[in-house]
A and B are shown apart, each in its own frame.
Chain A
Amino acid sequence: MSRRTRILVLCPALLGLGALFVWAIAGLPAFGDYRGPYGYVLNRVVVPLRHTTNVVMGTTFDVRGVDTMGEEFILLAAVVGVMLLLRDETRSRQAERHTSRLRTDAVRLVGIVMVGAGLLVGLWLMAFGYITPGGGFQGGLVVAGAILVLYLVGSHRDYRPFRDQHALDPLEALGAGGYVVIGLVALVSGTAFLTNLFGLGKTGTLLSSGSIALLNWASAIAVTCAMLLLFAEFLETYVVPLESEDSGS
């Protein structure tokens, strides 16, 4: 289909979609006029029932735990797809020895400080996810980003342990599979899949909310390793251009 035909087909389609949007929006309640019962029910019920003060985390990992399991498997499938697609690029081993080191000391100093700060913030977000805003997903992303800054300010040798697919693959599988195993433990002991079985501690402390804490850590590991694998796969394709620019160093 040529470009002109595509645009000619697009215009009536957009008009139709716009009309559908207008009709749909006219049927919605006004902004702020929340009618559905589940929001009110969850806000009253989750804190006493699950001893977690972050109701969003309680919803993600307990009330709607199956949805999060599905999302983790989407993440897994997308990472597998990227690795398969970018796998048959020619990998030249010589390229890894070239280091395009940052020459500015000020940027390197800031970067090194950022790595430490990023790791701490990421771990704090992961650990306190069920008490204050945060959680495995956000913390995992921050930790992966902090490790990426290590790649930016250090040399290839500093970053190579975090690019090792033989270590990251099993860890990611551990995270995603651990989620399913924790759910299956509930199934084996006679209740429904992903029931919150473990002891609920005191609300507002780290030792609370039962299996939400374990599922939180499992998904944190899975998200961190998935992001590191993704970054490693994309940066691997970036190493080759570095070779052609870094001539004879």
Chain B
Amino acid sequence: MLLAATLVPLQAVAFGLVALGAPLVVLTRDPLRQALVNGIYGVSLVCLFVVLQAPDPALSMLVVSSIGYPLVILAAIARVRSRDRTKGDEER
């Protein structure tokens, strides 16, 4: 491919996976499923960072996308759901 003349095939695949993962995250509308897809997108970003010879950002991104983001997103979802449930109980 003329656009990717100096890219090693491994790097081209990593870039392709990341470019594929981003619209998948956006198109998943349910926040619970989106947290999972975001975790997988984070792993693909880690592969990209490693292939671009950047071990330090890869370490940060690995921990953040497997522990940091799922925690805050799931806690927010749980809180929203429980408040909706108690409000539904009150109205009844």
Contact = CB atoms under 8 A, between A and B. Distances in A.
B59 interface: yes
Contact of B63 (A56, A141, A237): A141
B32 interface: no
Interface stretch (B18-26, B36-44, B78-86): B78-86
Given A56-B56, A141-B60, A234-B75, A240 B82 contact: yes
Contacts of A235: 71, 75
B78 A238 contact: yes
Where chain A touches its partner, the secondary structure class is helix
A133 B55 CA distance: 6
B71 A237 contact: no
B76 interface: yes
Contact of A135 (B56, B66, B85, B86): B56
A32 B51 CA distance: 13
A120 interface: no
Interface in A57-72: 57
A31 interface: yes
Contacts of A56: 56
Nearest to B89: A244
Contact of A141 (B55, B67, B75, B78): B67
